[in-house]
């Protein structure tokens, strides 16, 4: 698995999101996802939204994904 594939999958599921993914070992990844869709949602709900974009890859090709999820206002 590579970072660009993960970024593209998240962007497909959250089209208005700004996404940055890092993961030099190809198994453990860190992602910053900034999306207006996160407004009014608790962190757990935000993470579930991101995980939903990745489907079965979570726990398989993506062993671990550390998330930072922000609204555009929070990111400023």
Residue 63 in this model has a pLDDT that exceeds 90: no
Cβ–Cβ contacts within 10 Å for residue 62, how many?
A: 22
- Smallest CA-to-CA distance from 62 within 30, 21, 29 is with 29
- Going by pLDDT thresholds of 50, 70 and 90, the confidence category of residue 1 is confident
Q: Can you give the pLDDT at residue 59?
A: 84
Q: Half-sphere exposure (CA, 13 Å, Cβ side) for 71?
A: 11
Q: What is the pLDDT of residues 7-39, one digit of tens each?
A: 999 999 999 999 999 998 888 899 999 999 999
Mean of the per-residue pLDDT values of the chain: 95
Return the CATH class of domain 3-70: alpha beta
Please state the domain extents for the chain: 3-70
For residue 68, what are the β-bridge partners? 32
């Amino acid at each position: 698995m590579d970072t660009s594939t993960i970024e593209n999958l998240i962007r497909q599921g959250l089209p208005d999101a700004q996404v940055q993914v890092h993961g030099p070992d190809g198994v453990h990844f860190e992602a910053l996802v900034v999306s207006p869709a996160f407004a009014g949602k608790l962190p757990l709900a935000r993470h579930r939204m991101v995980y939903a974009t990745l489907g079965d890859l979570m726990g398989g090709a993506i062993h671990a994904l550390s998330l930072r999820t922000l609204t555009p206002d929070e990111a400023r």
